[in-house]
Structure 1
């Protein structure tokens, strides 16, 4: 069939003829978005922009436009209505075409699937899709910003090797306003869906993001990000990295919680890994043992799971910190071996390289450690803990101003990080090295206020408070450190945080000793 206007054939595609035929069959009735999609495109699923483009081209063929709306009227928030007066010349050709085109007009139920389409299974690792963002403002700049933001966030998440991220081309085909999360997740084969809403008022943008677990049809996370339209292009990368970091943390938290709800015998390798991850940052012998068991079980299930090897490497460097086994040489050897195996199985995985950077730092190889951590940032620019790790090395390599810069970057990416105490403590060390003693003491006090602060945190606070002339508080912090770890000594601190030049922190070390902490470990006599 073809469409003629004033006797002249109009340039149209079969899609536009099919759309127009459906409107002829349903005149002066509001045709909902989902109804049009089901009638014209089923079983394919298309984005809202594709539907709008088809309507625009159909209007053009009729001599109509979005501004005039003589024939096809937009019903805001609902769909479209064909309002023109018309008559049908009953011909066999049109009757046959109308009959064929109406066969799929009924809306498909959520349990109906295309028999030729095999729906993908959920991957074992966390899986996510970034859907098209809504934009309240209709101006072109806001629309382009929302689209670009969506694309860039998808690109950043795609760099995270521990997350299965759906290609943008596939996610963009699905309209989040017309489909249920359950259906989108099933079609794409992902668990998590990122929804976005961009509001532009005056010179301000507000970006509201949420993550939905498509398998449960429930929202698991939501957060708002505000930014100024002034200099937006310069700030866009910073905004994108902060958003990608927040999404990564939210997914990881949900995966950990989900893993603990499953029976141990039903865990897959990634779920076992996430159980271990919950214990990894808790510096107690019990937590270290539990985390180690989960990582080993994950490797048993999947011998190529690089993150489980990285977790074991971090476990052994944690043992060096708390001296659980009393044999740091063996733990350093094990940490090095597991980090290398992690990189072998995942040379693009940020955590694998991060674990190797930590081994190098503990070995006193500051420059090599910095190179590795900077490589981590290039692999995963939104990985907040990589910036904090760089800061730790810099603070013990006479690069204290640079350390403060990297701490600020880490905090920008993760403003509510569970390891905030470590960032505050490292800031205190850098400030003390720069002889800003009162600022160092303030930051150290913030660190010890955290519920997960441990003996190293109290030791740093003791030194900083002593340097700020608050002797009484310094001694109280030293006592607290020894209560947490009776065998703690200043030499243990120096072993866990080696300096490239010990003379550069001599005042800090002497202050730690003066606060009441023993220079070397005292062996109790029975």
Structure 2
């Protein structure tokens, strides 16, 4: 059973201290007692949810049902915008047990089912349904076949709704979570375009088109543009544009399709007002591959013109830059980009190989060098390093070549800045490049993430927290959200707010259990809270993920007090010098 709080980031943003206090109270009075009553084992608690193992799926569904009934009663007199509500997903299947944790497809499917459950509701797999049919009181409704993220085959799922007589606080199927407040300027989300080519291998091409359109739009300082990582959570799903607008907090949504056949490309696009569902603009563009960059520019210009005719043409023209004259190099670049988003060691190696091929075809392609720098960043972040000294040299080479070829592209500046600060240990120069990137493109969520880290290493805790929180708003559904959550954990740790730090570290681990940084933040919190054994356990897990971890390796921190505090925590946890 996987459980998570609906809209936890929004609730914490409204009242961080009060929300965390309520979560602790609910866990103590409702969640944990119900788990124990139905013979469950809490495998891991997170700041806003839990993963629980049961010997019987009947026990799991009955437990979930009672939790949701109790939460509904708890929320009876609570205003809609302040309610804490759970989504719960349940699956029965094989798991792998290691170090008191559980892994495997059984766990992954439960987590994905939780993601499609209604607020205050329960979603169970067809396997679970077969075993509980006729044995529980919950009303089970067939949801049909569901495509779950990172699960190869669609799965039939069932919705367990709470009985209608239990409490007036239980929401109906049409009710939704409190929407995010709209920014004070036109806001837009670009959804993944549908690949109409009939060839799954062309998926990378359609995704690359969308990424470039998002980049072009985000360079307009008059727009608020949701980051790619959040919008791509809708990939492959039938979406309700109004719901997308509420979940992402935007006024406009752009959707479309890409068809590539031989040397011809067709892009269709529709710009929709998310509040009303009305189409503002729709068009179709046909071109040859040789004019693909002009095609992207035409889409970008049309969207900006439709949303805000008063925008300066200079802002639009600045977005119209060809990344390379070589279509063959661009194709390899898109393939490398698709590989880097798979977040595996093997895909990382493939991305780096494709990047080098791209550079070999077009040595003047600045974006390819930036992609190489991203590979270096990802390798260190996920503990895949083999030769740290050589990798620092490689990161420096990629970063410096990228900014030498293009000093005005905010995406390139951000990647180069982070590579220099994080991998090459040139924090001051990296921070300056990141600041310039944000000045050029305030919507660039990666620049916000990485600026947060650079400020943290320079000892600017408040500035780091501000950047991480802006990143969370720019990309509220980001699969990489654990980056900002981990950053907040470290920033609060540096500021001496250990309880807040621990909560954010827990949330980050829930999002990405293999992220070394989140383990390190949790380790430090345990160590400085006197929980030595727990600190040692987390340190051991971090060392399994990245055996090269050493206290002496964290030299990019600039404030002596931070270095001393961090080294003390690491020694308590047993990390080698």
Q: TM-score, normalised by structure 2?
A: 0.45
Determine which structure has greater relative contact order: mean sequence separation of CA pairs < 8 Å that are 6+ residues apart, divided by chain length: 2
Larger radius of gyration: 1
Which of the two has greater strand per residue? 2
Q: TM-score, normalised by structure 1?
A: 0.49
